[in-house]
A and B are shown apart, each in its own frame.
Chain A
């Protein structure tokens, strides 16, 4: 019995029908360490942790917690074994208070009052120990995602978890919130708690973990000390081939002005001015990157350019003005003018999740004579078109009849990209192109964007990932509070300066 091990898994296997999600996985996690588990989407990380948390029963294999063999048939057993889990999608009751969520399932007796009082005291103590300030009486849905995540961590600590598993915890956080989370996690580790961090972001692994295990297609391919490895090596282990973490591109050759925006303003339903006079220009053959913390008007910019929000001001595409009142121009006329749009939220705005891939590939272009020669649509042609796109964009599995929801995030994004790019637009609007996309697919998507630029198209890229903005853009504009704070060339700026501009300091102050 090895007491220095918080978790040991031996030979865990789990299959869902014909899909082997976990194959003979063995792993040892040291007590008091931060252990990263990295792998692409669908590599089996979440399945493995769900087995550990009693969500699924393994087909074979053994689990040892603190050196003792432990059966985990359900979540209660996991909680009893001292395991706490923070899911990627929070498991909180949105219209309950923070306190109510914390005691749910861990109440002290049949009546709530004493439990609530006890939780309030403990919360105060935990907030002081780990700088995790949360208003105990706040309603969950009024809190930001960072705060909600803190509630999830507090929930686990309230149940006296020794082992904390976090599934993709930074996916929804701003860089500052992520830094704060990492400070909290380090504090917890120094207290002797064991942290398991599931992620596909190499930078997080390098920044915070002590040890890292790599998973690929259901198998554990390696476990190494973080200090002894490099992002390049981990990426190769994850994907199974060499991956270019940097984007290879030649300098841009800007041509004619494709998009000209002048004094663009948008007022939303709550009468808040979201865009306060935007001026920008994009030429053929260049990528303009819009950096900024989300919620500073980038979404509204994409929406008004894409034709599904109203605004005032002037927008010209290839010199021809576009109507912004919403009366004469919508997304369809935008498309006719050569604007293609890959929306930020692909699951809500880019795809219909329950519809098949071939239907999704035709959306927006379904009245194209190629697809709809007469009154009826030509399903055969649509399906064939989808097959071709899936092959060219390496969508896996290449099955046009599969519903969009059954593809991984990266492959969903490739479906949207294929639809929009292959229309040969003059201007591509693209929001958060790699959010929730795994590393192999990121490489492919970035290459596609650059290839499109090299064909002489204009590209407006909106992303909250500064790395991505730096890697792809030929010029970078920083947005804050509905305005453009300034423009920089990627070669003449750095993350620190951009970060200051994103926080609202003008270009001059920042420089």
Chain B
């Protein structure tokens, strides 16, 4: 494989890692505040559908993005009410959200568009376009560095750059601001936050809402940037892969970037090498495409070091004497 081939695979990795990264950061905010969220998948799916539908109606991808975020926020709010206000089981609430999104997107899609649950193909301003970074064409021919800039870094949709910028931003918010300190504290020991005179409920809702916004962006990216329209079940387990990446990343933003890029790379490799001969043994396509899911299982089985989740994670907060 030549140098440009490698650049192409990395470029594709970045594209494919973006929704994972957004969802992973979404989960990071929620879980750092002590709310487990296996409903990332459902929120992404709902957002993917709603953004594609609204973009298709209005022809404006930005309105689509807002609609996608709104849809994701509604589901996030349901999760918040169930698990924070009513202290319900967070896993069950998350499962319910996944089912809800999976069913509703198809039913509503069929009612609105009669295309078997799809939305119409999005074109032009109804999709996020690729952005060419300044001077990209001018320095494309510089050996080695040129392609890295022009082909790998340039030529993505705005959401890819947003996702990348969110990594340092999340780190800064979590570890350098008052909000971040309180958010992390509420995931470790909500009683400490409560007795310090800060609202546990308020903080957890804030975290769940941030999670909703980020999942919304991730879903909109799937339907209006990575693809051109919504297809049934298009999130394809990415919400769960993002959760695995979150554990792999030990609930840290920079590690989350690394973990999701790795998953992106595996997915890109699977797409690129549909059939591969390794030392004369043919590797089936299905195996290549299953790589990210295999890695997920390996990570969840705990083969990758010890990951300590936030200590109050998954437990509703009840005041006690």
Contacts and interface: CB of A to CB of B under 8 A. Distances in A.
A155 B198 CA distance: 14
Contact of A91 (B180, B181, B191): B191
B179 interface: yes
Interface string B173-200: 0001111111011001101111111100
Given A91-B189, A94-B189, A95-B188, A110 B321 contact: no
B306 interface: no
A92 B196 contact: no
Nearest to B312: A93
A473 interface: no
A113 B178 CA distance: 9
A96 B178 contact: no
A100 interface: yes
B188 A107 contact: no
Given A75-B197, A91-B189, A92-B189, A107 B321 contact: no
Nearest to B189: A93
Contacts of A47: 321
Contacts of A18: none
Nearest to A80: B197
A78 B181 CA distance: 22
Interface in A96-115: 96, 100-101, 103-107, 109-113, 115
Given A93-B189, A94-B188, A94-B311, A85 B176 contact: no
A26 interface: no
A87 B191 CA distance: 11
Interface residues of A, number: 33
Interface residues of B, number: 22
Contacts of A101: 192
B169 to A, nearest CB: 14
A205 B300 CA distance: 53
A50 B195 CA distance: 10
Given A94-B311, A104-B196, A55 B188 contact: no
Interface string A47-59: 1001001010000
Nearest to B319: A55
A162 to B, nearest CB: 16
A105 B198 contact: yes
A106 B321 contact: no
A85 B192 CA distance: 12
Nearest to A115: B178
A101 B196 CA distance: 9
A103 to B, nearest CB: 8
Interface in A261-315: none
Contacts of A96: 184-185, 188
A487 to B, nearest CB: 42
Contact of B197 (A95, A105, A110): A105
A76 interface: yes
Contacts of B185: 93, 96, 100, 104
A-B residue pairs, 10 tightest by C-beta = A105-B196, A76-B197, A107-B178, A91-B192, A91-B195, A105-B198, A75-B197, A93-B188, A93-B185, A79-B197
Given A103-B181, A104-B192, 12 more contacts: A55-B321, A75-B194, A79-B197, A87-B195, A91-B192, A91-B196, A96-B184, A105-B196, A111-B176, A111-B177, A112-B177, A155-B196
Interface of B: 176-182, 184-185, 188-189, 191-198, 311, 319, 321
16 contacts: A74-B197, A75-B195, A75-B197, A80-B197, A91-B196, A95-B188, A96-B185, A100-B181, A104-B181, A105-B182, A105-B193, A105-B198, A107-B181, A111-B176, A111-B178, A112-B176
